[in-house]
Copies of this chain bind each other. A is one copy, B any other.
Amino acid sequence: MPPVGPRSGDAIFANVERVNAELFTLTYGAIVRQLLTDLEEVEEVNKQLDQMGYNIGIRLIDEFLAKSNVSRCVDFKETAEVIAKMGFKMFLGVTASVTNWDADGTCCSIVLEDNPLVDFVELPDTCQGLYYCNILSGVVRGALEMVSMKTEISWIRDMLRGDDAFELQVKLLKQVPEEYPYKDDE
């Protein structure tokens, strides 16, 4: 079958199965609360959320590639745009933008102005070190690893900490030899 062009994030999002965002938000809140109770250390909760996200990301990438008709991206720059414009739209229903590129094109920021994960969320003083949305950085890291890009991801801005947006810094560490988890003819 000849390749067809990539679909817009909106078009894909309109056609995937979806659940109510508030249910998702509250369910995610329940996880974070559970982890805070079980692990006690905020730093451990951050790690665990990232790890959960990673495990999700390495699976979501399959649905993303299958539904989006995106073919292999040329470089990290194109990949970052695809994540921001299509990935976030397809899964969370929001669009992100890519900015703050460094000179050699291996580090950028993905900026989210809307984020369903944090609706109704306020962090108590005891959770100051918490990266509440750390699952997202894990998802992006996991998904990128499955397309051969090892990255380091950190939060630069966080609305729950009083910033005006969410900003994820994505740094490309290396492009590992291509070992796709799927075959071309699948």
Interface residues of A (CB under 8 A from B): 13, 16-24, 26-28, 30-31, 34-35, 38, 48, 52, 55-56, 59-60, 63, 90-93, 116, 135
* A59:B26 contact, CB within 8 angstroms: yes
Report chain B residues within 8 Å CB of A28.
27
Report chain B residues within 8 Å CB of A17.
20-22, 93, 116
Report chain B residues within 8 Å CB of A56.
23, 26-27, 30
The 6 closest A-B pairs by CB, nearest first: A18-B18, A17-B21, A30-B52, A20-B91, A26-B56, A23-B91
* A24:B30 contact, CB within 8 angstroms: no
Within the assembled complex, what's the spacing in Å between the Cα atoms of A21 and B35? Answer: 23
Q: Which residue of B lies closest to A26 (CB)?
A: B56
Report chain B residues within 8 Å CB of A18.
18-21, 93
* B90:A20 contact, CB within 8 angstroms: yes
From residue A7, how far is it (CB to closest CB) to chain B in Å?
A: 14
From residue A186, how far is it (CB to closest CB) to chain B in Å?
A: 17
30 cross-chain CB contacts under 8 A: A16-B20, A16-B22, A17-B22, A17-B93, A18-B18, A18-B19, A18-B93, A19-B19, A19-B21, A19-B24, A19-B91, A19-B116, A20-B92, A20-B93, A22-B91, A23-B24, A23-B56, A23-B91, A23-B92, A24-B27, A26-B55, A26-B56, A26-B59, A26-B60, A27-B27, A27-B31, A27-B52, A30-B52, A30-B56, A34-B35
